[in-house]
Amino acid sequence: MIKAERLQLIIEHIRRERKVLLGDLSTLLEVSEDTVRRDIKELSDQGLLKAVRGGAISHSPIPLHFREREHYDVSHKEIIALKAVKFLKNGQVVLFDSGTSVLAIATHLPRDLQITVITNSFPVASVLEDHPLIEVIFLGGRLNKSSFSTSGFEVIQVIREFRPDVCFLGICSIDLTSGVTGISYEDSQVKKAMVETSKQIIALATLEKLNTTEPYYITSISDIDIIITDTDPDHETLQNYKGIGIKLE
């Protein structure tokens, strides 16, 4: 098999499986693990996958701009939102990040729910503006025009003044080895601060975001208390997460 054929097969395999091991690819392609390792490095350098110890994982397939993400997988985000609302109760202080799954939660909050929401998301703040019982604390900072959110030193400093009961963390990519990672450095720094200050971390992820990775580290998988997805908690893809003690919804 020539090199171009190997590279194409690796790309197709990782798109299908999301994660590949050197040994498995070596057997599949009938070449040495060293050859597979070199192929993976070449594909990683081209941005087509992410090389990790022992193999490779795919990048997240999610669009970058908020307007595109807002209309992407809407029905699945609604499933996540309806599950997430069950974890809220009166009197809580809750961090809402700038993800579109988190925005879906904001649109489904009961009208009799009385909580304080801290957010750096303009869309979340706008949705909650007319909610009769929810107090909104908006985190001012530099505007990120692609996510309609704020970021920067000022945002992180203010986040660290709170000890929220719950943090709803919209996930771009999550993996057992790489942890939670993001596409944007500044957004990832804000999410990291949210995780560090919150008592309970609830990660929101459609199934396609699991077992993927991006360049910027947010937190270890062990820091996540609950993962809410758009599928049944008994789904095969989720069992490794359940195995390390994460609650699945």
Domain co-membership, 117 together with 89: yes
Integer Cα distance of 230 and 205 in angstroms: 7
A 10 A CB-CB count for 3 gives 12
Domain co-membership, 98 together with 45: no
The CATH number given to whatever domain includes residue 177 is 3.40.50.1360
Domain co-membership, 150 together with 35: no
Domain co-membership, 194 together with 93: yes
Domain co-membership, 219 together with 116: yes
Give the three-class secondary structure for 140. Answer: coil
Domain co-membership, 51 together with 77: no
- pTM of the full structure: 0.74
Helix axes 74-84, 100-107, angle to 10 degrees: 60
Tally of domains in the chain: 2
Domain co-membership, 47 together with 75: no
Domain co-membership, 106 together with 177: yes
Domain co-membership, 89 together with 163: yes
The CATH number given to whatever domain includes residue 22 is 1.10.10.10
Domain co-membership, 34 together with 80: no
The tokens for 233 are 């908690």
Domain co-membership, 236 together with 176: yes
Integer Cα distance of 26 and 31 in angstroms: 5
- Assess contact for 191 and 171: CB atoms under 8 A: no
* Residue-number span of the structural domain to which 28 is assigned: 3-57
Each residue's pLDDT, cut to its tens digit, for the chain (249 residues) gives 788 888 888 887 777 777 778 888 888 888 898 888 888 888 887 777 778 778 887 765 554 444 444 444 567 888 999 999 999 999 999 999 998 899 999 999 999 999 999 999 999 999 999 999 999 999 999 998 877 899 999 999 999 999 999 999 999 899 999 999 998 899 999 999 999 999 999 999 988 889 888 889 999 999 999 999 999 999 998 999 999 999 999
- Among 22, 39, 57, the domain-final residue is 57
Domain co-membership, 18 together with 37: yes
